[in-house]
A and B are shown apart, each in its own frame.
Chain A
Amino acid sequence: MYKIGLYIATLIVFCCIVCPVHAEDAKNKSDSCSLAEFSSKYLKFLESGGSSPQSVISNALEQPDTINKVLIDSLKTDSGWQFLKDINLKFETFQANDGTESLGFNYNFSKDIEKHLYSADNTSQSGYSVSIKLEGNIAFDEQTNPTNFLTSNASIHLFHSQGGVISNNTSTGLFNSLNSLEDKMAEIENPDDLLNSTEYKTFSKEIISNLSNQYYFDVSLIGGLESNQSFSEQEYYYGGQIGFDAKAWNPETELARYNIFDWPFAAIRWLSGNDEVFSPRGSTIPTLLAGIDLVDPQSGVVKEMHSGKSVFTRFRTEISFRTPLNKYNKAFFEANYRYYQEINASSDIKNNGLDNFEYFVTAITMSNGMFVSYSNGRLPFDIQKEKVYELGFKVGL
């Protein structure tokens, strides 16, 4: 807890003090890098006559954001590449610890092939869905890939959502009134004026008074392939997974008030004058995933270490948290923790440190693209444990 607190404090200090000073200079940078590296490259660029038109064009063509723009333009037209539209594909510059850079891309794709609600009343809904998901990073130079871990899976989900709204508490008069307030709110063009307006306060009070806690459960059967990008390490996995998400949409509820994960950030918002009172967000209660898999290694170190048996059992879990740092949701704190533990691992595997993998990443992100992040640990197939600090910008398209 002490270490995590220290990371958070470090990130906040970086973000509040260091970043704004360098914000304008760094806006031209297309991806993340340290301040020292950025300064050094910028000086080299100027010294080498980097401001000549040819040099500028050449550099621009090599930038991942240029490629992303071309990609997005291609997808807007009927070019035959439209099937890529549902794949979230982004080119990026990856950077290894020794400073080596390489172009690459990350992709993710998630789609429900089928969804059916077999039980739905006003406030509770149950059903099933069949989904496929793909995600990963591919670097043209594999050594620069920061998260060399690709997953592809198919899953069948049974889900249930309970609560969220208080049913039968509305009337046609209220629908008319809310529409009228919404019309007036939508015409306000200044964020302060909006949040301080009588219309917004009245609208918000009416809506929130009819919101309740929502509990979402998901139980799934899942099977897929995990690998590094060269497929020299690969393993199939089959198992079960549970997901749980609780949200206290009404901030007056006990569940919202006792969202202790948000207390430090509620204090920051309150002390910085962003919130008038200490107000933990019930909408930011962490989400939890946990699963047990049978893992069938096909190649690589994991396969070699399990030469005596064809499959092994693995427990895994993931926890995610994100909360705003100001009232306009322009800055966020986010964190994600993943843990993989082989059950009944042999002493050889334990001695080689391959029985468990732990990965923690936290970041402060801003709507202008600026971010500062810290990650520690490793995912399956990572042999070395790494601590990585990043400070940089992500430029939107």
Chain B
Amino acid sequence: MFKWSLDNRACKTTWSTLMELEQLKAVFKDAGSMKMSELTYWNNTDSDDMRTTKVNAIAIEMDNIFTEERGAKYEENKSKETAIQDIKNIMVNSDKLVQDLAEVNDNNYLFWNEVK
């Protein structure tokens, strides 16, 4: 089972990126257990079409930050499409956790100086 850990670069970079995108303001140890419905983009009153539009934009921006600002590359057999789609599929589900988001990011990206 995936563990929210200080030793995992995907966890730390997912957390710090959500902080910079103003989606959460929580310390690292508390952030992993936060639900998607606790992040700024999650408006409880939105239609699914509306939420999907917002999430697609955020998923692309998250990928932009990982690859352009943080030096991440895609894991072997992974691509921009799969990485963005996996982020989106987590973020449209209110009960998914930040930890779940870090897990798909860990699977799709090789972060800068990440130890495997």
**Chain B residue contacts of A88, Cβ below 8 A:** 92-95
**Chain A residue contacts of B68, Cβ below 8 A:** 122-123, 165, 167, 170, 210
Question: Which one, A170, A187, A363, contacts B44 given CB within 8 A?
Answer: A363
**Chain A residue contacts of B70, Cβ below 8 A:** 175, 178-179
Cβ-based interface call for A384 (8 A):
no
B42 engages A322 (CB within 8 Å) = yes
Cβ-based interface call for A382 (8 A):
no
B57 engages A185 (CB within 8 Å) = no
**Chain B residue contacts of A211, Cβ below 8 A:** 20, 65
**Chain A residue contacts of B53, Cβ below 8 A:** 216, 218, 243-245, 287, 289
A361 engages B45 (CB within 8 Å) = yes
Question: Which one, A164, A186, A245, contacts B28 given CB within 8 A?
Answer: A186
> Could you tell me the distance in whole angstroms from the C-beta of A224 to the nearest C-beta in chain B?
10
A204 engages B64 (CB within 8 Å) = no
A110 engages B51 (CB within 8 Å) = yes
**DSSP majority for the B interface?**
helix
Cβ-based interface call for B105 (8 A):
no
**Chain A residue contacts of B69, Cβ below 8 A:** 165, 170, 178, 207, 210
B26 engages A191 (CB within 8 Å) = yes
Cβ-based interface call for A298 (8 A):
no
**Chain B residue contacts of A194, Cβ below 8 A:** 27
User: Given the known A-B contacts A170-B71, A289-B49, are A125 and B60 also in contact in the complex, defined by CB atoms under 8 Å?
Assistant: yes
User: Given the known A-B contacts A164-B60, A396-B35, are A336 and B54 also in contact in the complex, defined by CB atoms under 8 Å?
Assistant: no
A175 engages B61 (CB within 8 Å) = no
B56 engages A159 (CB within 8 Å) = yes
Within 8 A of A (CB), among B56-77: 56-57, 60-61, 64-65, 68-71
**Chain B residue contacts of A283, Cβ below 8 A:** 21-23, 40
B47 engages A123 (CB within 8 Å) = no
B46 engages A336 (CB within 8 Å) = yes
Please, what's the 1-or-0 string for A189-216, where 1 marks a CB less than 8 Å from any CB in chain B? 1110011000000011001101100101
Within 8 A of B (CB), among A18-37: none
**DSSP majority for the A interface?**
strand
Cβ-based interface call for A297 (8 A):
no
**Chain B residue contacts of A328, Cβ below 8 A:** 25-26
A179 engages B112 (CB within 8 Å) = yes
* Binding stretch for chain B, among A94-102, A111-119, A347-355: A111-119
Question: Which one, A110, A123, A195, contacts B52 given CB within 8 A?
Answer: A110
> Could you tell me the distance in whole angstroms from the C-beta of B55 to the nearest C-beta in chain A?
9
Question: Which one, B9, B41, B48, B61, contacts A164 given CB within 8 A?
Answer: B61
Cβ-based interface call for A182 (8 A):
yes
**Residues on A close to B: CB < 8 A?**
72, 86, 88, 108, 110-112, 115-117, 120, 122-123, 125, 127, 131, 133-135, 151, 153, 155, 159, 161, 164-165, 167, 170, 172, 175-176, 178-179, 182-183, 185-191, 194-195, 203-204, 207-208, 210-211, 214, 216, 218, 222, 241, 243-245, 247, 249, 281, 283-284, 287, 289, 318, 320-324, 327-329, 332, 334-336, 338, 361-363, 365, 367, 396-397
